[in-house]
Chain A
Amino acid sequence: MAAYLPLLPFFIKYPFIKAARFFLDEEFRDIKEFLKSDRTVDIEAKKSGEQIVLSIFRKVEEPIFPEYGFICSACEEKECKSYCPKNAIKKEINWSICDLCCECFKHCPKVEGYEEIKFKAKESVLPFLYSRLIVSSLDDWVRRKFAVVMARRYREIIKREDSSFKKYLLALLFTDFKIKVSDGLNGKKNTYRVHISSYLKAPSRIKSEKWRLINKKLEKGFVEIEQDDFIRLIEEFLRERLVEKIQIDDEIKKLIEPSLKVIEPVVFEEKKKAGQLKFDKTDTSCFPPCMKKILEDLKSGVNIPHTARFAVTSFLLNAGLDVEEVITLFRSAPDFNEERTRYQVEHIAGAKGTEYDCPACDTMRTYHNCVKNCDTYHPLSLYENCMRNRSHTVKSYKPAE
């Protein structure tokens, strides 16, 4: 049976599409069967999966993606349409109705070239799956980096697609990511009306004025965006999908062990290079303006809002102060209560199990605790950069012997 034939070309280039799972299910009983397989194709697939992860760290070139056109648009018969429960197939597929149930694809009678395309699809989907297994067994930051780099990479690839194919591809993708688009493909040329619940994923992560909801035309729940921005939005959805950890049990871990042995040294080296900056002393001259302002207010006995207290506490703890030192700073607050302050500071420091991060700049802004545009996204990163520059400066001023 030529199941999923029309979708196969999509899988080759875009193996992250969820529907690719149907295809895997047909080939293998479960993931372990693939991992255990010693057929040459499967061994090759694992090798390519390794390459994908290595390419994230620029150890090897990015894998090359083969080209295949979309077959359905060329097909005039559309015998599949009677099988569509949503009645979404006319001359074209109406992607705004389609929910990717794949019934049409399961009943597609076109079989020519099927084996070849299927083989190619497998060559792409399996390595991709394998690369996700690898990053899911490593530190969280590896998976995050993987997600960011891969999502960016796919955005570039999508952007380069031929414009008529791109239309179908984007329709398939917004369906796959459950992005709510108002009129699907039937709207204005190259613009998309995206529901705010989907749209908000972008501005909450992309730090730019252009993306902020307040700067958008928002009507009846929908935001209109250009095609390139729509692709950028898809990048966010993809990044989020790829950041998700695949559950790895001991058996899987054992099966992918040989690949982990290859990747781990690279990861370790990367981590060392990034070097976690630790400050043994805190230098207030490097504090961002918002934190300086809160600290000044505290010192002068101004009653500051809860959100500002939380911000400064988490900031100071992250910058290396200990609980006692932070409590001391609060002593001048007009409503100081040692017991309550201690409880709260300890809570933020992680006594209850969760260590809290200092709020990012946009959060500071929302609560009116931001006092200046510093051209950064996070108070701590401003502080860290300043400290880092300082340590360089100190070194360069060291007199020669």
Chain B
Amino acid sequence: MPVEFKKREWAFVPLDVLPQFTMHRHIAFNSEHEVKNHILSSIPANIYFSSAYYNKPSAEKMEQKGWEGADLIFDIDADHLPVKVKSIQSALKLAKEEIFKLLDILTDDFGIDEKEIMVVFSGGRGYHLHVHNEDFRKLDSAERREIIDYLMINDVKFDKIPETSQGRRIYRSMRELSGYIIEKNHLNTLLKKLNFRGKVEDVEIILNSGRLNRLTGSKSKRRLFEYLFTKAVEKVKVNIDAPVTADVKRLIRLPDSLHGRTGLRASPVSINNLDEFEPLRDARAFGDEKVKVRVRRVRKEDLSWAIDVLKKYPRAGDRIKVPEYLGIFMLCRGMAQYGH
């Protein structure tokens, strides 16, 4: 159950009218028992709750709810990453890397205790991160956007490396990159590409010394500086879905509920286990028992993670037996029908 669940708004997408997506919202509960009853009385495809705490969470109009605060939440979704990958498993791997970057900044720079952070596999193509900390609850949307700009390093002017925590990370990344360039003997090629005029040795000395702010002496050197800086920023920035964090009345998937389009559990993951966590294995809600499904259509990038089990990609019209978790997954993605 979410922290202070009585103050949250709940929302449900009913299963029986799918694929039409309707949402029943403005629902509130006073006890765990009520929640359970509601879910059991009509099984939903998706369950959401509000990041916000309200005085009257069931009020129909947002203005009447009496906003009292909201958890700080982050959504990292593979679809919002600059690198586009097709297969679910690589998308989730990239998303996890972003979560690690985010955790680092939240604990080091923002001083948020790991105990106050909940990381949840979204059940789909990413992760959610909830912060339960009184100090951050009251922040309004504009204030949260400052946090977004900080994480995403939006619009920084770079005449030199800033002496800030993010600046330190950028510097480290620039050093790594320049070290790599020198090690791989790419410096000459890169400088040619950047139309560099001057002594290559000078640049090499600066790069080796680590005093990267000296790369501002000439226009040529500046171009190299900007190249390294921009690359470093891309690496350091955390690719969150900004509107989710800025929205102080967001509905977010209930941890431990099922995702209607994958059948996977939106599983909370302890930070210590995050490294080993494999969502497609560890967030299964269904077992290995074989079930019969009829294949309707196949999207290979959605199935590549299960190719070991499938042996080969099925084709539309195939009648196959697969483990229940995979059957449900195919059903939820519209790739199969139940039974033969």
Contact = CB atoms under 8 A, between A and B. Distances in A.
Given A213-B150, A366-B154, A219 B63 contact: no
A216 B63 contact: no
A203 B155 CA distance: 14
Given A353-B61, A353-B63, A201 B143 contact: yes
B154 A217 contact: no
A210 to B, nearest CB: 11
Nearest to A200: B143
B164 A196 contact: no
A204 B111 CA distance: 20
Contacts of A205: 142
A245 interface: no
B6 to A, nearest CB: 24
A354 B109 contact: no
B107 to A, nearest CB: 9
B243 A195 contact: no
A365 interface: yes
Interface residues of A, number: 33
B222 to A, nearest CB: 20
A398 interface: no
B164 A218 contact: yes
Nearest to B134: A197
A363 interface: yes
Nearest to A362: B145
Interface string A179-219: 01000000000000001110011011100010011111111
B148 to A, nearest CB: 5
B283 to A, nearest CB: 28
A2 B140 CA distance: 41
A221 interface: yes
A200 B147 CA distance: 9
A4 B143 CA distance: 36
Interface string B134-158: 0110111011011111101111110
Interface in A282-306: 306
Contacts of B145: 204, 362-363, 366
A204 B138 CA distance: 14
A196 B166 CA distance: 15
29 contacts: A180-B135, A195-B135, A197-B136, A197-B138, A200-B143, A201-B143, A203-B146, A204-B143, A204-B146, A213-B150, A214-B146, A214-B150, A214-B155, A215-B162, A217-B163, A218-B110, A218-B150, A218-B164, A219-B109, A219-B111, A220-B108, A220-B111, A221-B109, A221-B110, A306-B243, A353-B61, A362-B145, A366-B148, A366-B246
Given A218-B150, A221-B111, A370-B155, 15 more contacts: A180-B135, A197-B135, A200-B139, A203-B146, A204-B140, A213-B147, A214-B164, A216-B164, A220-B111, A221-B112, A353-B63, A362-B142, A365-B149, A366-B145, A367-B243
Q: Which 9 A-B pairs have the closest CB atoms?
A: A221-B111, A204-B142, A220-B111, A200-B143, A197-B135, A213-B146, A218-B109, A204-B143, A213-B150
Interface of A: 180, 195-197, 200-201, 203-205, 209, 212-222, 306-307, 352-354, 362-363, 365-368, 370
